[in-house]
Amino acid sequence: MLDRKIPAARPASKVGVLRAFLALTWFLQSTIAFGPSAQDSHSGPVISEDVTLVILPVTVRDRKGEFVSGLDASNFQIYEDGQLQTVRLFRREDIPVTVGLVVDHSGSMAAKQLEVIEGAQAFVQASNPQDKEFVVNFNSTVSFGLPKSVAFTGDLNALRTALSSASASGRTALYDALAVSMKHFDKDDADKKVLLLISDGGDNASKTSFSQVLRIAQSSNVMIYAIGLFDEYSSDQNPMVLKKLAEETGGQAYFPNSFVDMLAACQKIAADIRHQYTLGYSPPDTARAGYRKIRVKVTAPGRGKLRVRTRAGYLSSPRTPTQSANLSGQVE
């Protein structure tokens, strides 16, 4: 069903280039504001053991929707296939992130192209100084924006060039681009890996299927955040694909319909990335292949009912020890 082209319920209003740039510049400023200084002063590894780990980014909010800081490892319970696991890694500081910018340059995005480029550039500028980025541009084909000799960079000028190296034309190989992007993370050993996908969700040129992309995502520790920008005159768009990928990987999808909505989406993404806990546990029975469900619960007396968002499960291979899991939208 996800491969069916589903038009957006309400097309995005055409935001001027200047207004889009201002919105995403605000995102830059808000992300910096949510950086390490926004975390509690006692942040740092509480538990860390040299074992093969399933690594989980976890966002905790209270009933009002506010981020909950100051929790310890003892406040978290992790269940794999219903069995309680021992928390072996716990961090609550703003750790460096490796980010892949996956940018749609297909013909269906032509009307939004300047907004796409400005948005991706603003995200780069918002990065923690220790973050690393790479760029994947796609239309009918998929290409890396950086030179072949450069896997990742924090150089803003290099990233600007990479983002502007493709023009909007042709068909859409979204699934191929995602598969290539997630494979590229194999070259990096960071605990926290994020894809920022800017697209309308349509695909009409990939050799990779949606089910294959979903399996790749379920076998990785990459969070996918998606910003859906839609042209009211284009039928080649699929917001459900963006939503599903984000939910399965512990990220979120946003579909801004106006300048105000764009500001709100920028604020939420910036805050989400910078306010996550990082948990890890050693998976049981590593010889068993297949999908494993994960559930995270939080108990903190005196704080009321807390809501948890992370990944929904992961695909385990008996040949390669798992280093990740995928939970979506679990709420306790």
Tally of CB atoms within 10 A around 226: 25
User: In this model, does residue 9 exceed pLDDT 80?
Assistant: no
CA distance 110 to 116: 10
Q: Which amino acid is at 45?
A: P
Indicate the average pLDDT of the chain.
77
Nearest Cα neighbor of 57 from 225, 304, 285 is: 225
Return the SS3 of 210: helix
* φ/ψ (deg, to 5) at 259: -60, -45
Show the DSSP H helices in the chain as ranges: 17-33, 113-125, 156-163, 174-184, 210-218, 239-249, 259-274
Of the chain, the percentage scoring pLDDT greater than 90 comes to 38
Question: pLDDT of 230-245, one tens digit each?
Answer: 877 767 789 999 999 9
User: In this model, does residue 100 exceed pLDDT 60?
Assistant: yes
CA distance 182 to 145: 15
Question: pLDDT of 242-297, one tens digit each?
Answer: 999 998 888 999 998 866 676 667 667 767 888 899 999 998 877 678 889 999 99
CA distances from 3 to 175, 201, 232, 238, 251 (A): 11, 10, 20, 8, 20
Instruction: Give the mean model confidence (pLDDT) for residues 119-131.
Output: 67
Under a CB-based contact definition with an 8 Å cutoff, are residues 122 and 25 in contact?
Answer: yes
